[in-house]
Chains A and B, each alone.
Chain A
Amino acid sequence: MMLETIAERLSLKCKCCWENLKNDVTGGYAGDLLSDVMANSAAGNIWVTRQVHQNIVAVAALKEHAAIVIVQGATPEKETLDKATKEGIPILVADLGEFEVVGRLYQLLYPSQG
């Protein structure tokens, strides 16, 4: 599913790399421990987290995530946005908490049968 569609349906605010909103999202990952995300997430994932520190960009770039979604209306640090712009990783912000954002994303990515 195209990132842009997800951003629209979940009212996410894009903070950088608008040109990459055409990225294809193939799955989702949620987590706030960088070591865990590094070990277990996959390329094409939309990564949902509450971390705003610039190290999230390095992880997302390395794992080739489609985008990072920062939840709970948290503000990404300036260094984080600068780095994301350089790496071409879109960062989007959601007002809702991690559970609600993941729940809605899950419904979008995996519509229930019947």
Chain B
Amino acid sequence: MTLAEVRDLLDAELIVGQERLELEVHTAFGADLMSDVLAFARSGCLLITGLANLQAVRTAYALDIAAIVICRGKALTDTFVETARELCIPILWTPLIMFETCGRLYRAGITGCVREIGIQEKTGVGY
């Protein structure tokens, strides 16, 4: 699924990353706890979160996450957008709650990605 398709599916706006609309994503990780993202998310996934702070962007950068979906219509600060641009992390913004966001993506065929804490990677069920 491309970022453009994700955007349409989630009634979202693409705030950062206009040049990345054709980027393909297949997996997602939903969390508000960045400590969980750092421990379990895999590179290349979509990060779905309601935590619209710099830590979310820096976590995505640390793990080479494909893009962040900010849900619940959380307001974005200028610093957040600037940091995402600087670190080249595409940002989608949706008014939907996380439950609806994950639900729609799951129905569209996106699967969860969970990495065993540490180096080995484990594929999500159904992947």
Q: Identify the A interface with B (CB < 8 A).
A: 27-33, 36, 40, 48, 50-51, 72, 96-100, 102-107, 110, 112
Contacts and interface: CB of A to CB of B under 8 A. Distances in A.
Contacts of A102: 30, 98-99, 102-103, 106
B4 interface: no
A99 B32 contact: no
Contacts of A100: 106, 111-112, 124-126
Given A50-B31, A96-B112, A99-B48, A30 B98 contact: yes
A97 B107 contact: no
Contacts, number: 96
A99 B29 contact: yes
Given A99-B113, A100-B106, 12 more contacts: A30-B98, A36-B32, A50-B31, A51-B33, A96-B112, A96-B124, A98-B31, A103-B105, A103-B107, A105-B103, A106-B99, A107-B103
Nearest to A102: B102
* Listed residue (A51, A72, A106) with the most chain B CB atoms within 10 angstroms of its CB: A106
Contacts of B28: 99
A48 B72 contact: no
Interface string B50-66: 11000000000000000
